[in-house]
């Protein structure tokens, strides 16, 4: 059990939260009275996200702290700045990540491989290191890892590098949960499923009409908007007290139900 007082204002840091699911999570936490540090990879994207959120929540505690998770000193600065502003951090969410072009591994440029590895693996390791040190010192806290395709070992053509990173992330979360025992810090994983974001949609090849139609059909059955996923994840994050917690939105049962109900529901998350 983790000794975080659920009655007090919860203080949240989300890496990669200037857009997509990260921004939707920030919005949902703010709607529940939390203090949130929004962090994009650039100052401009971070400030834009903060402005939009402050228009919606003018009295909330929202701070923008840009951070390139590939750089340890910037991750350390993110922690220290959030700690100074909020007096501590209750939940640190390692959400920042980049995808890959849908290509076999031998066709991916080395620069793209390095960027994925440094962001999706090294950046998450830095986040785990910094948050663990800070939370162990304060005696409590939750560190969350955002899963993705490949975390469960499934393979899809064209996602070899990204999938490798997400597979490594699941091991890291499990290992850190073991190492964190007795520290007052808990570790958990978040599985958001398939979402309609710039991150996912920008990497789909639409040049083959038949392939695109099949892809669109699957997305219309299984995909969701980030706001929908965030509204499911956030209350469960805040209610969690257990080390090793796994919170999944798109479960196997939900997938089965959606496919069975598809002819009747005719979900349309992609209209084009």
Does some domain include residue 93?
Answer: yes
Within 8 A by CB and 6+ apart from 97, the residues are 16, 119, 120, 123, 124, 146, 148, 165, 199
Does some domain include residue 219?
Answer: no
Domain containing residue 167: 11-196+225-250
Question: What is the model's pLDDT at position 210?
Answer: 73
**Which region, left, alpha or beta, applies to residue 20 given φ > 0 means left and ψ of -120 to 50 means alpha?**
left
Q: Are 98 and 116 in contact (CB under 8 A)?
A: yes
CATH number at residue 42: 3.40.50.720
Cite the DSSP H helix spans in 87-196.
110-117, 123-138, 160-179
* Mean pLDDT in consecutive groups of 10 residues from the start of the chain, 272 residues: 64 97 98 98 97 97 98 98 97 95 92 96 98 97 95 90 96 98 97 83 69 78 92 97 95 88 79 61
Question: What is the model's pLDDT at position 60?
Answer: 96
Q: What is the DSSP letter of 143?
A: E
Question: What is the model's pLDDT at position 220?
Answer: 84
Within 8 A by CB and 6+ apart from 257, the residues are none
Tell me the C-alpha to C-alpha distance, in Å, between residue 252 and each of 159, 171, 261. 21, 21, 14
Backbone phi, psi, residue 245, to 5°: -70, 140
Does some domain include residue 265?
Answer: no
What are the tokens at 178?
Answer: 């073991």
- For the entire predicted model, the pTM comes to 0.91
Does some domain include residue 189?
Answer: yes
Give the rounded distance of the alpha carbon of 8 from its chain centre. Answer: 24
How many CB atoms lie under 10 A from the CB of residue 40? 25
By CB atoms closer than 10 A (0-12, 13-18, 19+), residue 94 is buried
Does some domain include residue 2?
Answer: no
Q: Which of 72, 80, 197 is nearest to 122 (CA)?
A: 72
Within 8 A by CB and 6+ apart from 125, the residues are 172
| Domain count within the chain | 1
Question: What is the model's pLDDT at position 6?
Answer: 55
Question: What is the model's pLDDT at position 158?
Answer: 86
Taking only the tens place, the pLDDT of each residue in 146-179 is: 999 889 988 988 899 999 999 999 999 999 999 9
Question: What is the model's pLDDT at position 156?
Answer: 86
What are the tokens at 22?
Answer: 């990260």
Does some domain include residue 244?
Answer: yes
Q: Are 75 and 124 in contact (CB under 8 A)?
A: no
Q: What's the distance, Cα to Cα, between the start and end of the chain in Å?
A: 47
Does some domain include residue 165?
Answer: yes
Handedness of CA 227, 74, 34, 85 (dihedral sign): negative
- Rounded distance, CA 16 to CA 69, Å? 9
**For tokens 């890496």, what's the residue?**
15
Does some domain include residue 171?
Answer: yes
């Amino acid at each position: 059990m983790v000794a975080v007082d659920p009655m007090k204002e919860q203080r949240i840091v989300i890496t990669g939260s200037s857009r997509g699911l990260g921004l939707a999570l920030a919005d949902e936490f703010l709607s529940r009275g939390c203090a949130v540090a929004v962090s994009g990879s650039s100052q401009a994207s971070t400030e834009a996200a903060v402005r939009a959120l402050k228009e919606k929540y003018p009295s909330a505690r929202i701070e923008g702290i840009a951070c390139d998770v590939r750089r340890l000193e910037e991750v350390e600065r993110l922690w220290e700045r959030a700690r100074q502003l909020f007096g501590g951090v209750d939940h640190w969410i390692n959400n920042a990540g980049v995808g890959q072009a849908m290509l076999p591994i031998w066709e991916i440029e080395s620069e793209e491989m390095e960027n994925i590895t440094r962001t999706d693996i090294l950046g998450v390791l830095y986040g785990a290191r910094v948050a663990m040190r800070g939370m162990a010192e304060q005696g409590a806290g939750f560190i969350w890892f955002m899963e993705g395709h490949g975390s469960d070992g499934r393979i899809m053509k064209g996602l070899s590098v990204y999938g490798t990173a997400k597979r490594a992330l699941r091991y890291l979360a499990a290992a850190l949960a073991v190492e964190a025992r007795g520290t007052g810090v808990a570790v958990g994983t978040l599985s958001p499923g398939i979402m309609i974001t710039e991150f996912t949609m920008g990497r789909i090849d639409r040049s083959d009409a038949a392939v695109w139609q099949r892809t669109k059909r699957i997305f219309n059955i299984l995909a969701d908007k980030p706001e929908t996923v965030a509204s499911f994840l956030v209350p469960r994050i805040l209610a969690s007290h257990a080390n090793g917690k796994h919170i999944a939105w798109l479960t196997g049962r939900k997938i089965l139900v959606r496919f069975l109900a598809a002819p009747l529901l005719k979900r349309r998350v992609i209209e084009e």
